[in-house]
A and B are shown apart, each in its own frame.
Chain A
Amino acid sequence: MTFNLRLIPLLPFLGAAILMLFGRKWKRDTVLIVAAGAIAGSCLVAFDAFFTALPRAAAGGGLHDVVGTWIAAGSLKVDLAFRMDALSGLLCLIITFIGFLIHLYSSGYMEHDPDYPRFFAYLNLFCGSMLVLVLGDSLPVMFIGWEGVGLCSYLLIGFWYTSNANADAGKKAFITNRIGDLGFLIGMFLLYQYTGSLNIPEITAAAQGGGALMQPLWGATVAFWAALFLFVGATGKSAQLPLYVWLPDAMAGPTPVSALIHAATMVTAGVYMVARMHAVYLLTPGAMAIVAIVGALTALFAAIIGFAQNDFKKVLAYSTISQLGFMFAGVGTGNFDAGVFHLFTHAFFKAGLFLCAGSVMHAMGGSGDITIMGGLRKKVPWTHGVFFVCWLAICGVPFFSGFFSKDSIIGGAFGTEIFDAAINPLAGEHLAWVGKAVGVVLMLAALGTAFYMSRLYFLVFSGSETRASDEIKHHIHESPGAMVGPLVVLAIGAALGGFIGLPGGLLDHPEWNLLADRLRPVLGPEMEISRAMEIGFMVGSVVLALGGIGLAYLFYGGGYREPARKFAAAAPRFVQLVRDKFRIDELYGFLIIRPVKAIAKGIFFVVDRILIDGFLVGGLAWVVDLVGSIARWLQGGDVQRYMAVFAIGVAAIAYLATQPMHTFFSNALKVTVNGLTVDVDAHRGSIAANRVLDYSFDFDDDGKPEVTGVASGAHHVYPQPGTYTVRVKVKDPSWGTSSTLTQKVEVR
């Protein structure tokens, strides 16, 4: 069914273009009306499409909109086309709705910034790109959005460009993302090579057919490598091991940007992409195992780093990396709708947390140092309330949104049958452990999440004392309505969002799981695990959540407590190592960045300057120069030199003239073979051609010539086939000079 889907990304793009061209001279309110209006319009169209048009569309295809042919060359044809199904539709709702809230919030947060129009232009550009990413009907169109959001991220991280640190962080984000993009591109090329198409529906159809993508390649299947390379792209965009390093630095950008781009939307693009390409992934449990393991390890690793960070936004950044790991563990275990479900709930509670961070930092005069906070519960009550709800949601406290989504990921990891060779014939025997191992790691990560988030909550809001200087304390105030309003909406989402994905099966009402119901035509039936297991995991994860919170309370309730100090004193080097993020950045610098730069510099001097310009170009010039100066010296006007040259010349001519023939260019003989008969002609022309010469032909090179005489040609019949050497000696009787010619002949 066609629908004017192009409007959804077009409106924000138009907003961005208008603001870039004219915004600089406009009043702030006008800028806001254009920017927020554009995204609000887009939001309305998206809601209309999702709730009105989409249910009426055919089950698999969804809504479709072809703008025109974008690139067609040779056998390749890529349309600029958009498609909305339940999956991309859900993402559109998240992007436009949360995007709109963050536009509103930013009007307060960026109120005093001189570059207000530029900020909103970038925000609109980002929303447009993100919508292209999710709506794109083919991988290249998706890639427009994929790179577009990367660009906006680059621009917004470095928004306050006068600081080199911010610009560096932006560049780091872009380049790290590009490393991932290389993987994305190669995955795309592999899919094109073997399926002949870049359109997602066609690739999905080809994958469901199996054949083309199951061909062997590099010791595995095409599907494995395509899925793996695409996942490399996802690790870049979604900040997973080992490419996560850009996201913490990205916190240099304005906080609304962190909330929108680096928490709710852009960083989830990798998860979306894996879910979008699920048909390819399902062909290759090996690649899915890698996705799940990387996701689980990232979830745990980032959570551990989160234990020791003292910057409000840095904690949230590592928390985002960790939560994205959960989502990948979900899609990697074949539990696609759980991964998307967590993406949805995370968008609300993490955006809420970030905006609270912005609000707190706003109150604290721009500082995000949690060691100087404390006791803010009463001073910023609205912000505290929102943070409180979002904190419970991310910890997985029952009936808040994160509880449902995280639980379905962990349960799915234990219950998955993807890696079970007995049930899934594609899986190898050696993969059976993956699901349970991932589940255990995720449970540890969930415990860690509850701990570091509670640490953050207690250090910032609990207690009665704010540890900051009096000057800062004096200024602490609640944020304006424009900022608090969106916060409250997000808190409602964070609290209630989980109910769209109720574990219906458990309650004997599968239709209560609205999300799975809508996603089923796209992602296939949801995973089912036994009731006993489900209840068991539910109880287990509640225990973990409460345990993490309790432990954090022991350490940090009401401020730094005795156990926290003791722990820090007991293992100072370990704490420092965690605080330094395990020094992974330094490791990359040492292993990759500095060597590349040094090698490039070295090559530049050695190859370009010395080898090519010095030896080759310079050497050629030197030879020409040398010949020139010898020639110049010879013709310097000195008669004796002229005489010497003259004498050498005469001698050379005399020598050549007395040679019976030149063997200068070639000493080959003219040989004609005919069976065992061979005709040899030694006449090669020479300066002395018209003289009578003596020839002796030795056809078998035994020192005894078979034919001698003044004729230059000779004829010989060999007794038996074989390879012989013919040696011809030519003598000039008048000068007494001679020369020899040899040639191999093969007779059969």
Chain B
Amino acid sequence: MGLLGWVTLLPLFGAALILLVPQEEESIHRGLGLLTAIVTFVVSLLMLSGFDAGQAGFQLEVNRSWIAPLGIRFHLGVDGISLWLVMLTTFLIPVTLLSPQAIGIRNIRVREFTAAMLILETGMIGAFLALDLFVFYVFWELMLIPMYFIIGIWGGERRFYAAIKFVIYTLVGSLLMLVAILYLYAQFHAATGGYSFDYAQLSHLSLPASAQMYCFFAFALAFAIKVPIFPLHTWLPDAHVEAPTGGSVILAGVMLKFGTYGLLRFALPLFPLAAAQAAPLIAILAVIGIVYGALMAFVQDDAKKLVAYSSVSHLGFVVLGILTLNPTGIQGAVYQMLAHGISTGGLFLGVGLLYDRRHSRKLSDFGGLWAKTPVFAACLLVIVLASVGLPGLCGFVGEFLVLIGTFTAQKLWGPAGLTGYFPAPKLMGGIAATSVIISAMYLLGMYQRLMFGPLDKPENRAVRDIHGAETWVFGIMVTAAIVMGLAPQPILNRSEKSVEAFVASYRDRLQEAKRNPDVPPHIYPPLPAAAAEGGGTP
């Protein structure tokens, strides 16, 4: 099955195993779940060690025929971009399962919760690794289902509303994407005579300008909802507020990244011309999202909602970084995805812990907790500062690179004769950078209202500091935030080649598409011989 197959499917097997254990054996469910997640993490470390940073293309590929008549292949592969997103997933799932608060305060059906988290993990890893658009779509939808249940069953008071809003929003986008995938499939047949959903082949298909626009819209809408890009973000605060802690951590930590990963992996390379034409609009929306999300976070009294809106702001940086279309900006975007997983994951764990202790998320219900929970307060401070983007912690590196990339966006594109597509880079960068002020305002404001001030609410006197497994959870997150801030290079080194190759090939294909905007679907650049054989025949 290959290393990647194991990484993908191990959690699913674990989930199946857990579902066989009787309902009442909760500690076995927890133990088995954690064990599965840790084993998956270890296997993913093998993947990491087997990864060759010097190569740009996909590695460790698994490629076997699945539904031969339709040319569908079970094709997985990892490059420098998906590598780290998979690592983020396999890292966050065990940490979340270790946290006693993951399931939320409706502490029921531990078996099903643990299984749902593991199925979710398979869906996410599969979607990151899939190199066949059909397989990608299957995994993409697969992760929707457990998350729907996680919100709907273990969520808060308005869990049904939030779960349905989440599903409908996501489905609207993904169904259009499915149509576009099928269109690509048909056009590939028209151009080559072969049938294939294979990414490596479809990414050589060059569509005429108008068709690119429709398909790009379909893909981009699906991904924009997932990110979420302003103004498609309103499902996010609801989903986060209602989801149990574990759901929020994974939703923000990993699932939102499918939006930005999808833009980077599919929407831009498959439709280069349309992407370039839409780039100014999306970049402007990203900048609006950065400021807008931050301002919204600033006025929330609900800690979870505050963190949710901060995600809108932070993910805006990722989108902006991708659209700079230069290696610095995209490296920053990739790094920001990981850093956001750590910092926002940590914030949700922290807020979840307080909710578990106090059954409240309202900031006005807290105050002066430092005296009661010094260790937790110190951990949360590091995570808050990482999210604020303090240099030396993980949040800085990504934002810094994205902003550098934004400022230099036009300069790098000048020689290629493509200047002007990125509107006013200095202005955009400058506006985006104002979030350094606003993020300090809302996050330190939140921190102050939780930890500082007099301990004047009697309910807060009994709040206990972190202990046992909780110490491990926060210790791990804090360590990750510090290490990623001080030593980003091991990560950046491994994604460098893939990002550079992405930029080079995108530029090449964009220039080709600009030369021939009205040529019917054709193959560019020519398919390598080995890949050309991969297509199935009806």
Q: Which residues of A contact B (CB under 8 A)?
A: 20, 24, 68-76, 140, 143-144, 147-148, 151, 154, 158, 161-164, 166-168, 171, 174-175, 178-179, 181-182, 185-186, 189-190, 192-193, 596-597, 599-601, 603-604, 607-608, 611-613, 616-617
Interface pair B488/A70, CB less than 8 Å apart: yes
Chain B residues contacting A168 (CB-CB under 8 Å) are 448
- In the bound assembly, the distance between CA atoms of A616 and B231 in angstroms comes to 10
Chain B residues contacting A161 (CB-CB under 8 Å) are 368, 370, 451-453
Interface pair A182/B434, CB less than 8 Å apart: yes
Interface pair B451/A143, CB less than 8 Å apart: no
Q: Which residue of A lies closest to B327 (CB)?
A: A74
Which secondary structure dominates where chain B touches chain A? helix
Interface pair B408/A600, CB less than 8 Å apart: no
Chain B residues contacting A24 (CB-CB under 8 Å) are 374
* Given contacts A76-B328, A144-B392, A158-B452, A597 and B298 within 8 Å (CB-CB): yes
B326 close to A (CB within 8 Å): yes
Interface pair A192/B299, CB less than 8 Å apart: no
CB proximity to A under 8 Å, residues B462-491: 486, 488-489
Chain A residues contacting B492 (CB-CB under 8 Å) are 71-73
Q: Which of A74, A163, A178 contacts B326 (CB 8 A)?
A: A74
Q: Which residue of B lies closest to A181 (CB)?
A: B436
Interface pair B436/A182, CB less than 8 Å apart: yes
Q: Which of B298, B397, B441, B499 contacts A71 (CB 8 A)?
A: B397
Interface pair B437/A167, CB less than 8 Å apart: no
A162, A163, A168, A616: which has the most chain B beta carbons within 10 Å?
A: A162
Chain A residues contacting B70 (CB-CB under 8 Å) are none
B152 close to A (CB within 8 Å): no
Chain A residues contacting B329 (CB-CB under 8 Å) are 74
Interface pair A73/B332, CB less than 8 Å apart: yes
Chain A residues contacting B299 (CB-CB under 8 Å) are 597, 600-601, 604
B393 to chain A, nearest CB (A): 10
Interface pair A190/B407, CB less than 8 Å apart: yes
- In the bound assembly, the distance between CA atoms of A166 and B335 in angstroms comes to 35
Chain A residues contacting B69 (CB-CB under 8 Å) are none
Return the 3 tightest CB-CB contacts between A and B, nearest first: A74-B327, A74-B328, A73-B331
Q: Which of B292, B434, B436, B452 contacts A164 (CB 8 A)?
A: B452
- In the bound assembly, the distance between CA atoms of A592 and B463 in angstroms comes to 37
A231 to chain B, nearest CB (A): 16
Contact with A along B395-415 (1 / 0, CB 8 A): 001001101110110011000
Interface pair B433/A73, CB less than 8 Å apart: no
A541 to chain B, nearest CB (A): 40
Q: Which of A162, A192, A596, A599 contacts B454 (CB 8 A)?
A: A162
Chain B residues contacting A175 (CB-CB under 8 Å) are 437, 440-441, 444
- In the bound assembly, the distance between CA atoms of A193 and B327 in angstroms comes to 15
Q: Which of A186, A193, A608 contacts B408 (CB 8 A)?
A: A193
19 further A-B pairs in the complex, CB-CB below 8 A; given A171-B444, A604-B295: A24-B374, A69-B489, A72-B496, A74-B326, A74-B330, A74-B405, A76-B401, A140-B391, A164-B452, A166-B452, A182-B433, A182-B436, A182-B437, A185-B436, A189-B403, A189-B407, A193-B411, A596-B298, A612-B231
B98 to chain A, nearest CB (A): 21
A198 to chain B, nearest CB (A): 9
B296 close to A (CB within 8 Å): yes
Chain A residues contacting B295 (CB-CB under 8 Å) are 596, 599-600, 603-604
Interface pair A179/B437, CB less than 8 Å apart: yes
B171 close to A (CB within 8 Å): no
* Given contacts A70-B489, A74-B405, A151 and B385 within 8 Å (CB-CB): yes
- In the bound assembly, the distance between CA atoms of A151 and B390 in angstroms comes to 9
Interface size class of B (residues with CB under 8 A): 35 or more
- In the bound assembly, the distance between CA atoms of A601 and B299 in angstroms comes to 6
- In the bound assembly, the distance between CA atoms of A162 and B448 in angstroms comes to 10
- In the bound assembly, the distance between CA atoms of A450 and B374 in angstroms comes to 46
B360 close to A (CB within 8 Å): no
Chain B residues contacting A182 (CB-CB under 8 Å) are 433-434, 436-437
* Given contacts A161-B370, A175-B437, A179-B437, A193 and B234 within 8 Å (CB-CB): no
Interface pair B391/A144, CB less than 8 Å apart: yes
Q: Which residue of B lies closest to A68 (CB)?
A: B489
B352 close to A (CB within 8 Å): no
Interface pair A604/B488, CB less than 8 Å apart: no
* Given contacts A71-B401, A158-B452, A20 and B378 within 8 Å (CB-CB): yes
A361 to chain B, nearest CB (A): 23
- In the bound assembly, the distance between CA atoms of A635 and B408 in angstroms comes to 62
B19 close to A (CB within 8 Å): no
B445 close to A (CB within 8 Å): yes
B289 close to A (CB within 8 Å): no
B247 close to A (CB within 8 Å): no
Interface pair B430/A162, CB less than 8 Å apart: no
Chain A residues contacting B165 (CB-CB under 8 Å) are 617
A217 to chain B, nearest CB (A): 9
- In the bound assembly, the distance between CA atoms of A71 and B392 in angstroms comes to 11
Interface pair B391/A76, CB less than 8 Å apart: no
* Given contacts A71-B489, A171-B444, A192-B407, A612 and B234 within 8 Å (CB-CB): yes
Chain B residues contacting A70 (CB-CB under 8 Å) are 486, 488-489
Interface pair A608/B400, CB less than 8 Å apart: no
Q: Which residue of B lies closest to A69 (CB)?
A: B489
Interface pair B489/A72, CB less than 8 Å apart: yes
Interface pair A608/B296, CB less than 8 Å apart: yes
B45 close to A (CB within 8 Å): no
Chain B residues contacting A608 (CB-CB under 8 Å) are 234, 296
- In the bound assembly, the distance between CA atoms of A75 and B332 in angstroms comes to 12
Interface pair A617/B405, CB less than 8 Å apart: no
B371 close to A (CB within 8 Å): yes
* Given contacts A140-B400, A163-B454, A73 and B298 within 8 Å (CB-CB): no
B455 close to A (CB within 8 Å): yes
Q: Which residue of B lies closest to A154 (CB)?
A: B444
Contact with A along B293-328 (1 / 0, CB 8 A): 001101100000000000000000000000000111
Chain A residues contacting B298 (CB-CB under 8 Å) are 596-597, 600
Interface pair A164/B454, CB less than 8 Å apart: yes
Chain A residues contacting B496 (CB-CB under 8 Å) are 72-73
A273 to chain B, nearest CB (A): 15
B104 close to A (CB within 8 Å): no
Interface pair B391/A75, CB less than 8 Å apart: no
- In the bound assembly, the distance between CA atoms of A76 and B434 in angstroms comes to 22
Q: Which of B292, B368, B391 contacts A143 (CB 8 A)?
A: B391
Chain A residues contacting B126 (CB-CB under 8 Å) are none
Q: Which residue of B lies closest to A24 (CB)?
A: B374
Q: Which of A162, A185, A600 contacts B296 (CB 8 A)?
A: A600
Interface pair A178/B440, CB less than 8 Å apart: yes
Q: Which residue of B lies closest to A114 (CB)?
A: B371
- In the bound assembly, the distance between CA atoms of A345 and B500 in angstroms comes to 51
Chain B residues contacting A597 (CB-CB under 8 Å) are 298-299
Chain A residues contacting B437 (CB-CB under 8 Å) are 175, 178-179, 182
- In the bound assembly, the distance between CA atoms of A24 and B411 in angstroms comes to 53
- In the bound assembly, the distance between CA atoms of A258 and B331 in angstroms comes to 41
Chain B residues contacting A181 (CB-CB under 8 Å) are 436
Interface pair B489/A167, CB less than 8 Å apart: no
Interface pair B296/A603, CB less than 8 Å apart: yes
Q: Which of A164, A193, A616 contacts B407 (CB 8 A)?
A: A193
* Given contacts A71-B488, A182-B436, A162 and B455 within 8 Å (CB-CB): yes
Interface pair A174/B444, CB less than 8 Å apart: yes
- In the bound assembly, the distance between CA atoms of A154 and B448 in angstroms comes to 11
Chain B residues contacting A599 (CB-CB under 8 Å) are 295
B433 to chain A, nearest CB (A): 6
- In the bound assembly, the distance between CA atoms of A38 and B445 in angstroms comes to 33
B5 close to A (CB within 8 Å): no
Interface pair A186/B331, CB less than 8 Å apart: no
B346 close to A (CB within 8 Å): no
B14 close to A (CB within 8 Å): no
Chain B residues contacting A140 (CB-CB under 8 Å) are 391, 400
Chain A residues contacting B378 (CB-CB under 8 Å) are 20
A340 to chain B, nearest CB (A): 25
Contact with A along B318-362 (1 / 0, CB 8 A): 000000001111111001000000000000000000000000000
